[in-house]
Amino acid sequence: MKRSIFILLGLLLLINSCEYNKDEIYYSDVQKPEGEITLNLTDFPSDLKIYIYKRTRIFYDLQLPEGDILKKKFSLGGREIFPNDDNFILLEPEKDIEYSEMLVVDVEVDPKSESIAGKLGLENYIGKFQYEIIFLPNVELHLQNISHRKTNEGYFELVWSKPELEQYTVDKYRITYYFNNKEYIKEITDPNITNFVDSNAVFGYLQYKIETYFKEPIRESWIDYYTTKVEFPKNSVKFEYTGVNSGKISWPQNEYKSKYALALGYYGDIIYEGENNFFEIDNLSEFSKNKFYFFPLFGHGGEWIEIYVVPFGTKEIERNMPIHFDTLFSEGIILGQGDKHISSDVSKKIIFVKAGNKFSLYNSNNLSLIYEKTITTINPESWNERVFCSEKSSKFFLTNEKWIDLVSYDLQNHEKITFSTNEKLNYVFAHLGTNDIVFIRPVVDIIPEGEPEVEGKLYAYELRTKELKGTLSFSNKWDETVISRDGKYVAVYNDTRILVHEYNQGNFTLIHRIDFPSLDGGYEKIRAYFNEKNTSQLIITQSPGMYNNEMYVVNLLNGLESSKIRTSYVCSDPFTGNIITNHGSECIMFDPLFTSELFRHTTTDVRHIFNNYFFTFGWGDIPKLYYLEITNYLKK
C-alpha cells in the first residue's frame, strides 16, 4: 500500500516539472482575407424603391471576394427567382392592380481562411440586399394629351403633357415631321418645353413622330405618332356673280396662316396666287377666251378645280405641295331628290322648276325665288315625262302614265284629270299648248307581223272643259308628232316626209309638206321641232348627233327654207327665239332667223334656255339646276 502511494507522488512531481508553451498552440494569429460583397442594380442604390410598369430587364453587377460561393439567392416576395446568365433579372407585373414585393439578394462566400474561426465558418462574407419593387401594371407608357392648336400668330402648334411617372425622367424629345416630300427633325432638350410650332403645317395630311428619351438607362424611349388632317369640305369652292359680266371664285378661309393658289383643270395652269381666299373675274367673256369651257357653265359634271394651300412665306408653288381638289359649278338652284323638270310662262315671266314633289317658281328676269312648296299629294318618286305651264289658266301641267296632274301657280290646289275616250290614251306624252289645248295620242299597240299599217290619231281636248275639240288622223300610227308651243301647228313626220297641219278651233288643215329623197335605198334619220317663240318656224335636223348632221329652218308663213348648217338642234328660247345647237363638242347659238351665229364655244353643256339663261341639271350629292346669264356673251 505504502509502495503505491510513493509511486503516485513521484509521477505528480514529474508532470509538474515539465515546460508547456501554450501561446504557440492556442494563440497563432492567422489573418482573414480582405474583400467585400457589392451589388449594383443598374445604378439603383440599395434600399430604394424600384417602379416596374411593364416587363423589364434589370441588370445587376455582383462583386464578390475570392473564395467559394456558398450561397447566391434571388427572391421576390419570398419566392426564389433565377437570374439570366447575362446577369439580369426579369421583372413583370403579374396582377392587374398596383402592388409591391421585396426583392432580396442573399450571398455568402467562404474566403478559405486558415484560422480556427475560418475553419468553423465564422469568417465567411455575407451580403444581403433588399429593394422594394412596386408594380404598376395599368399605366400608359406614352405621351398623354397630344393635340394641336393655333397660336396667336396663326400657326399650327403641336402640344403634349410632360410625363410625370416615378423614375421616368425626361432627357429630351425628338420630333420627326414632313413637308413637301422632305423629312425634318427637331430636338427639344428642355424637358419642360412640351410644344412645337410648325409653320409649314397649314393643310393636308399632317403626321408627327415624337420620341421621348429618359435619363434612366433602364427606361426604353417612347415613340408616339400624331396625325391630323386640315382640309376643306367637298363642294366648298363656289362661284357667284358680282355683276352682269363679272364674278368671283371663292373657297374657305384656311384655319392656319396660309397663301393660296388657284388652278383650273387637272394640274392646270395657276391663274391666281395670293393671301385672299377668293379670285375676282372682272370680265367673264374675256376670261372664257381660249378655254375649253364656257365659263362659268361647265355642265352637270362641273369643272375640276385645284386650290393650293401653302405656308404663308412660300415663294414658288410646287406641284407636290398641299392641294384641295374640288369641282366648281356655276351658281345653281339647289334641288330636291326625284325627277327634274323646268318650264316657263312667258306672259307672267315665270320659270318653273320641279324636283320630285318640290315645286319652285322663279322670276325669269333675275331668277329670284317667288315661291316654293312641297306638294305632299304628289308621290316624290313618281316620274313625270313632261311639264308645261298653262298661261291661260295659271296651272302647272304634269304628265303621268294614267292621268294628268294639275297644280295651281300658287301651289295651293292639286287635281288629277283624265279625258273621256273609247281608247286608252298615252298621257305620258301629252302636250299642252299655250292655247290650253291638250294634244294626246292613243297608246300604240304592237301590230302583228303581216297586218296592214294602222292609221294614227291625235286628239285635241280643251283643258278647262275636258271636251274633245278635234281629231287628226294620219296614215301610220308609228309616225312621230311634234306640236308647237302655242298649239297652233302639228308636224307629223317620219324619215321620208314631214306633214305640217295648222290647228284652229278643232280643225286640222295641212299647210306644208316636205319629202326627203332616199339615199342608196335608205333614208337619213330626221328630227323636227318648232321654235319655242317663233312657232311658225319649223326646225329640221338630218342625221342628228352624227358628225355629218345638217340643220335648217322653214318659215311656214312663206315656205322659205334657210341654208343648211352642219349642226344639230338642242333647244330654243321661248323669250327671245334664239336657237341653241351643238356640233361635236361645240355649243352654238343662232339668232331666231337662223342667219347669224351669236356665239360658239367648246364643251358647254346646255339643255334649256329661258330669257338668255342657260340651264343644265347637275347630279350628285347636291342636285342643282345650274345656270348662266349669257346676254353679254352674244355677238353684237
Diameter of the chain by CA atoms?
Answer: 194
Whether pLDDT at 33 is above 80 = no
Phi, psi of 29 (to 5 degrees): -95, 95
Q: What is the pLDDT of residue 450?
A: 58
pLDDT at 23: 46
276-298: average pLDDT: 76
pLDDT of residue 406: 96
544 or 157: which leads in pLDDT: 157
List all residues 6 or more positions away from 452 whose beta carbon is below 8 Å from its beta carbon.
none
**pLDDT at position 22:** 46
Burial of 93 per CB tally in 10 Å (0-12, 13-18, 19+): buried
The answer on pLDDT for 618 being more than 60 is: yes
State the chain's mean pLDDT as an integer: 86
DSSP characters over 386-427: -EEEETTTTEEEEE-SS-EEEEETTS--EEEE----SS-B-G
pLDDT at 49: 86
pLDDT band (50, 70, 90) for residue 5:
low
Could you give the angle at the alpha carbon of 10 between the alpha carbons of 6 and 15, nearest 5°?
Answer: 150
User: Measuring CA to CA, which residue among 324, 232, 307, 236 is closest to residue 272?
Assistant: 307
The pLDDT, as a whole number, for residue 470 is: 96
Task: Please determine, for residue 20, whether its predicted confidence score (pLDDT) is greater than 50.
Answer: no
Checking if the pLDDT of 364 tops 90, the result is yes
pTM for this entry: 0.64
Task: Give the side-chain half-sphere CA count within 13 A for 618.
Answer: 27
477-534 pLDDT, tens digit per residue, is 889 999 999 999 999 999 999 999 999 999 999 999 999 988 777 788 999 999 999 9
pLDDT computed for residue 294 by the predictor: 60
Name the one residue in this structure whose C-alpha cell is 373657297.
251
- Cβ atoms 580, 275 nearer than 8 A: no
Could you tell me where in the chain the CATH 2.60.40.10 domains are found? 144-230
38-135 in CATH: which number? 2.60.40
Q: If we measure between CA atoms, which residue out of 139, 159, 161 comes closest to residue 51?
A: 139
Q: Which three cell numbers stand for residue 321?
A: 405641295
198, β-bridge pairs? 156
Strand 88-91 relative to strand 56-63: parallel, antiparallel, unpaired? antiparallel
Q: Average of pLDDT values for 444-467?
A: 81
Domain 144-230 classification at class level: mainly beta
577: left (phi over 0), alpha (psi -120 to 50) or beta: left
- The CATH architecture assigned to 238-330 reads Sandwich (2.60)
Q: What is the pLDDT of residue 27?
A: 45
Residue 114 has pLDDT above 70, yes or no: no
Confidence label for 26 from pLDDT (cuts 50, 70 and 90): very low
- Give mean pLDDT, residues 524-552: 91
DSSP 428: G
Query: Exposed (0-12), middle (13-18) or buried (19+): which is 122, by Cβ within 10 Å?
Result: exposed
In the 3-class helix/strand/coil scheme, how is 25-88 assigned residue by residue?
HHCCCCCCCCCCCEEEECCECCCCEEEECCCEEEEEEEECCCCEEEEEEEEECCEEECCCCCCE
Average pLDDT, integer, range 390-414: 94
Reference 298, options 601, 635, 636, 611; nearest CA is 601
Q: Which pLDDT score is estimated for 25?
A: 44
Alpha helices in 242-390 (DSSP H): 284-288
**Does the structure show a pLDDT above 80 at 363?**
yes
The answer to whether 270 and 262 have CB atoms below 8 angstroms apart is: yes
Percent of the chain predicted with pLDDT > 70: 85
Higher-scoring residue by pLDDT: 518, 43: 518
| Backbone φ/ψ region at 370: left (φ over 0), alpha (ψ -120 to 50), beta | alpha
How is 569-589 classified by DSSP, letter by letter? EEEE-TTT--EEEEETTEEEE
Give the C-alpha separation, 5 to 321, whole Å. Answer: 129
Mean pLDDT of 471-480: 92
Of 6-10, 399-403, 452-456, 508-512, the poorest mean pLDDT is in 6-10
E strands, 95-219, in order: 99-110, 125-135, 144-150, 156-161, 170-179, 182-188, 195-198, 204-214
**Ordered DSSP codes for 225-276:** EEEEEE-PPTT--EEEEEETTEEEEE-PPPSSSEEEEEEESTT--EEEEESS
Mean pLDDT value across residues 277-289:
83
pLDDT at res. 599: 83
- Whether 30 shows a pLDDT value over 60: the answer reads no
Name residue 53's amino acid.
Y
Parallel, antiparallel, or unpaired: how do β-strands 49-52 and 125-135 relate? parallel
Please, which pLDDT band fits residue 543 given cuts at 50, 70 and 90? confident
Q: Could you tell me which of 249, 256, 261, 258 has the C-alpha nearest to residue 316?
A: 261
pLDDT-wise least confident of 87-91, 466-470, 512-516, 557-561: 87-91
326 CA to centre of own chain: 9
Q: Containing H/E element for 10?
A: helix 2-16
Has residue 635 got a pLDDT over 80?
Answer: no
Q: Which of 343, 459, 430, 458 is nearest to 390 (CA)?
A: 343
- CA 70, CA 67: separation in Å to the nearest integer? 9
- The more confident residue out of 83 and 546 is 83
Helices (H) and strands (E) in the chain, counts: 4, 49
Query: Is residue 125 left, alpha or beta, with left meaning phi > 0 and alpha meaning psi from -120 to 50?
Result: beta
Please provide the distance, in angstroms rounded to a whole number, between the alpha carbons at the two ends of the chain: 176
Please tell me the predicted confidence (pLDDT) of residue 556. 97
The more confident residue out of 571 and 452 is 571
pLDDT of residue 274: 94
pLDDT for position 45: 59
- Per DSSP, 519 falls in state B
